[in-house]
Amino acid sequence: MKKIVTLLFIFFLTFQVNAQKVNWISFEKAVELNKTNPKPMLISVYTDWCGYCKKMDRTTFKDSVITAYINKNFYTVKLNGEQKEDLVYNDYTFKFKASGRTGYNEFAAALLDGKLSYPTTVFMNEDLQLLDRVPGYLETKIMEQVVTFFGSEKYKTEAWADFVKNFKSNL
C-alpha cells in the first residue's frame, strides 16, 4: 500500500512540475515590455477571497492549450482588485480606497467601469486601449473562444456570434 501511495505521489508531483504555467507579470511590467514588443494584454482581475477566481486558477489557467495560447499571444497580468499598493499608469497614481470591510484599488475600479465583479478578464490591445471586459468564471471551452477572438484580432472583422458559430476548438 505504501508503494502505491508513494508512486501516486511521485506521479502527481511530476505532473505538477511538467504542467505549463501562465507567465503572470505586473501591469507595470507589461506596459514596459509593450514599449519594445507590442502585444495585447489579458488582465485577470481577482480577489483573495473569490472562490471562482481560485477555481479559474485551478482549472482554466492550468489547461495546457489555454496556457500556451495566452503566453504566446498576450502579456498576462494578474491584478488583485483589492491590492493596497499604488499602481502608476499614464502619470496617474491609482490608490487603494477603503470601502466597507475591505476596499478596492482605483485601477481595478477603472478597468471594470466601477462594477467590481470578480473574476473579470479584461482585454486591451497593443495600444493599451480597452477592448472588452468578460465578467465571471470562464470555463476552459469558453476561455479558448474568448482568447482566440481577441488574440487573433477577429473582433476587428467578425461579430462574436459568427465567430463562435465557426470556431474550431483545439481542446
Segment 15-36 shows an average pLDDT of 85
Q: Write down all domains in the chain, each with its CATH number in brackets.
A: 22-166 (3.40.30.10)
- Give the C-alpha separation, 143 to 129, whole Å: 21
- Give the C-alpha separation, 131 to 35, whole Å: 19
Instruction: Output the DSSP codes for 83-96.
Output: --S-EEETTEEE-E
Instruction: Give the pLDDT band of residue 1 (cuts 50, 70, 90).
Output: low
The residue that leads in pLDDT, 125 or 11, is 125
pTM for the full model?
A: 0.87
Q: Are 152 and 167 in contact (CB under 8 A)?
A: no
The residue that leads in pLDDT, 8 or 98, is 98
pLDDT, tens digit, 9 for 90 and up, residues 30-49:
999 999 999 999 999 999 99
For all residues of the chain together, what is the average pLDDT? 91
pLDDT score, position 3:
53
pLDDT score, position 19:
64
Strand partners, 87: 94
- Cα atoms found within 13 Å of the Cα of residue 90, Cβ hemisphere only: 4
